[in-house]
Amino acid sequence: MSDQYTCIISSDSKHVVSNNQVQQAVAIIEATCLLTDDVSFNQFETLQFIDSGQNFSHVSCPYCNKEISEWWSEQMDELYASRFSNLYVNVPCCNITTMIGQLHYSWPCGFAQYEIRIKNLGESISAELLMKLEHLLETTLLLVYQRV
Ligand SMILES: [Zn+2]
């Protein structure tokens, strides 16, 4: 059976958190979400692309809606080679510059310096919990549902 992860990341890819904030956030999640195997925190050395794993299916242009998945994966290879130091891309169909995180993904995903990862959460994260975490971490958060 595959594992499901709920990854909580900041919507701001440059956002950082303190150890204290992380400990409090993990404690709140553990106290609130009782139906999980494991809550962990990962701090990355460089920006990481947090995708939805097997859930991932396609990427389209936010301006004209054209599917640009193949172009996207080439761009990702280049951006990855530069360790995501630059996240701006020029969409080929509309020739408009945007951030790669702003494209339309069929499943939510994002770029992050850190993540809080909840394994096999048997319930959904409540809006109330999300607001508490946003207040604590001082950022707006994105949820990425990952199946591996
Ligand atoms: Zn387009």
Query: Which sequence spans correspond to the domains of the chain?
Result: 1-56+107-148, 58-106
Return the structure tokens found at 87.
């996240």
Determine what percent of the chain is predicted with pLDDT higher than 90: 69
Of 16-20, 99-103, 120-124, least confident by mean pLDDT is 120-124
Distance 51 CA to ligand 1 centre (A): 22
Distance 94 CA to ligand 1 centre (A): 4
Architecture per CATH, domain 1-56+107-148, reads as 2-Layer Sandwich (3.30)
pTM of the predicted model over 0.85:
yes
88: three-class secondary structure by DSSP:
strand
Please enumerate in sequence order all residues whose Cβ is within 8 A of that of 15, keeping only pairs 6 or more positions apart, or say none: 113, 137, 139
Distance 47 CA to ligand 1 centre (A): 26
Distance 52 CA to ligand 1 centre (A): 23
For the four alpha carbons of 119, 120, 124 and 129, in that order, the dihedral sign comes to: negative
Distance 104 CA to ligand 1 centre (A): 11
Q: What is the mean pLDDT of residues 20-33?
A: 94
Distance 27 CA to ligand 1 centre (A): 43
* Residue 125 one-letter amino acid: I
Does residue 54 contact residue 127 with C-beta atoms inside 8 Å?
Answer: no
Other beta carbons within 10 angstroms of residue 22's beta carbon come to 16
Distance 76 CA to ligand 1 centre (A): 17
The β-bridge partners of 126 are none
- Residue 71's H or E segment, with its range, is helix 69-81
* Per-residue pLDDT reduced to its tens digit, 69-109: 999 999 999 998 988 888 899 999 999 999 998 899 988 88
The phi, psi pair for 87, rounded to 5°, reads: -110, 10
Distance 99 CA to ligand 1 centre (A): 13
